[in-house]
Amino acid sequence: MEKNMKWPKWMVWFLILALPLVSSGCFHANKKTGDDDLNALSIRDLPAGPEDAQILVTYLDNVSIDPTYQNILPRLKLVTPQEFDAPANAGKFSFVGRTYGNNAPFRRGLDLPIHEYYVGAGSPWTARDGFRYIFGVKCFPISNYNPDDPYSCPIDATAYNDPVAYSAAGENPGAGIVTLYQFETLGSVGYTTDAQIIWGLLTMQPVIPFRYKAIGYIYHSSQSDRDKRIK
């Protein structure tokens, strides 16, 4: 694998920030194992999530964990509505959904952790370093790493102790809880609650290398998010 495989910065921004905004929004109502089972219902039809939950965002972080390699990498974090709407942060965050953090775990049944780990350059599938996430457990580094194993990570991965956020046990459309997806394509990673994004990448022509998995179950939005944070 080539260590310095990089996409242009504009392409990273496109995948991470633009893709979740280009469609009207659908979600995967009953996740199964097949790629053809992404049956969708309009996200706009979901009930509003709680206003007291924090906002989960994706953003580009300029990091240098490996002193020999530095890049601008997509990452997840929780922010308050005030942080999201602050003029100083304009354009910095892309809305993903709502859930709770360490300040309020176990709220409304969202009590399963979403853990973060860092993959060094030259990972088995992407050939690119970056942050990845695992739902329910901390990542388990193994030498015979399989990217399709939802709970393992490369032997040289750096795992973090504190969860980024807390997840429900599964989808509950009646409460507005939807699947949080992590998807990887051509060395880039993104996050979305919109299954139409996944479907679009799976059916793209010409076919591109693509993987996705569920990394949690969170609220898609609150009423105020729909009013001013989701275009």
Tens-digit pLDDT profile for residues 85-130? 999 999 999 999 999 998 777 888 899 999 999 877 665 555 556 8
3-state helix, strand, coil in the chain (%, to 5): 20, 35, 45
The pLDDT of residue 53: 94
d(CA 192, CA 178): 10
Can you tell me whether residue 97 is helix, strand or coil? strand
Averaging pLDDT over each range in 33-42, 115-124, 169-178, 200-209, which range is the top one? 169-178
Distance separating alpha carbons of residues 191 and 212, to the nearest angstrom: 9
Assigned token pair, 223? 């009423």
Q: How do residues 7-24 score in pLDDT, each as one tens digit?
A: 344 343 433 333 333 222
Q: Which residue has the higher pLDDT, 13 or 78?
A: 78
d(CA 96, CA 18): 12
Structure tokens at 136: 């329910």
φ/ψ bin of 133: left (φ > 0), alpha (ψ from -120 to 50), beta (otherwise): beta
For residue 213, count CB atoms less than 10 angstroms from its CB and return exposed for 0-12, middle for 13-18, buried for 19 or more.
Answer: middle
The alpha-helical segments, DSSP class H, found in 25-99 are 81-85
Q: Which residues pair with 216 in a beta bridge?
A: 180
CA dihedral 191, 64, 157, 61 (to 10 degrees): -10
- The residue among 35 and 133 whose pLDDT is bigger is 133
pLDDT of residue 122: 60
Q: What is the C-alpha separation between 211 and 227, in angstroms, rounded?
A: 32
| pLDDT reading at 44 higher than 80 | no
Q: What is the pLDDT of residue 85?
A: 94
**pTM (2 d.p.):** 0.77
- State how far the Cα of 18 lies from the Cα of 190, in Å rounded to an integer: 10
Residue 175 in contact with residue 220, Cβ under 8 Å?
Answer: no
Find the largest Cα–Cα distance for the chain: 48
* C-alpha span between 90 and 101 (Å, rounded): 23
Predicted confidence at residue 219, as pLDDT, reads 95
